[in-house]
Structure 1
Amino acid sequence: MSHASHGHPCRQRLCSRATANPWRPVRTPARTPRGGMTTGRCAASPLAGHRTPGDVHRLAQQMAEVLVGRRAPEVLRDHVTVPVREELRRLRGTVDCAMAPRLTRVFHQPLGAGGMEASAVIACDSRTRVFAFRLRREGDRWVCTRLETDRTG
């Protein structure tokens, strides 16, 4: 039986596409481990360096909970500077959200040694809100040094 009868785009009887597994993902630079294909598992994900660190994501979630009024700013005292804590007090509850806030995305960008800038997108009911913050590394924790939201309060 020829491939043409099954709707195969190649009209030749045998071709390289006919023997390939059609359900196998296409090799792209993002999916191909460094050094080509390997038989074992890849030692590290090619996107491992692009993922927002877990503690930064957690801090963004906690800040979102303050913005919707479900968490007190004082809980974050070890992770925010005094001006940021005052800003969080002022903005507490200004984001309308009937349910607990859910972060749909957290983006980050390194700012030299020991610094980072991040932004988070909050899905609340039918609206989407966003806030951005700067962090610096102090010992084993991140401390938020600046906060900006899409709401002036």
Structure 2
Amino acid sequence: MSHSRRRHPCPRPLCHRDSPSHRPVTTPARTPQGRPATARCGAPLRGHRTPGEVHLLAQRVAEVLVGRRTPEALRDQLAVPVREELRRLRGSVPCALAPRLTRVFHQPLPGRTVEANAVIMCDHRTRVFAFRARREDDRWVCTSLETDTSRRAR
């Protein structure tokens, strides 16, 4: 038996190497015929990126959660209830190194408000938190916060 005709050890017919069911289907997303090159490669997402200031606020909150920053250092960017919650949660996320935000997602809400969630990579574990921020004057102020440790503690 030639090498090209050998079957995968799995007895199911779908696992056969030459099976047409494993070939990708031609779709407009995979075959951009007639569209300009700028329409591909991320162009539709422009304008939907998380604002840099919101991303920075998420990074600072993550630093408080791992204990590398105090909530008082963010006094102008935290509402009083959030500051109290962060005092209680400070250091609740064990992380030997500085926290690294792998993703920050956001959803604009009416009234100059944004809802965001962030994924933190610490050591070999992934943690998440969500917050709501409101634009006040020239800065974002975190008005509510929820972490994956908040629910367990209650």
Q: Deviations 1:60-96 (Å, cap 9, x if unpaired)?
A: 0000000000001111111110110111110000000
Q: Map 1:56-135 to 2 at 5 A.
A: 56-135=54-133
Of Structure 1 and Structure 2, which has the larger fraction of its residues in helix? 2
Structure 1 partner of 2:141: 143
Q: Distance in 2 between matches of 1:125 and 1:133?
A: 23
- Root-mean-square deviation (CA, aligned residues, Å) is 2.6
Q: Distance in 2 between matches of 1:48 and 1:93?
A: 35
Structure 2 partner of 1:47: 45
Q: Distance in 1 between matches of 2:50 and 2:102?
A: 13
Calculate the TM-score normalised by the size of structure 1. 0.71
Percent identical residues: 69
How many residue pairs were aligned?
123
Q: What SS class does the counterpart of residue 76 from structure 2 fall into?
A: coil
Stretches of structure 1 that go unaligned for 5 or more consecutive residues are 1-26
Deviation at 1:28, TM superposition (A): 4.5
Q: Distance in 2 between matches of 1:109 and 1:95?
A: 25
Q: What SS class does the counterpart of residue 78 from structure 1 fall into?
A: helix
Deviation at 1:58, TM superposition (A): 0.4
Matched letter for residue 37 of structure 1: P
Stretches of structure 2 that go unaligned for 5 or more consecutive residues are 1-27
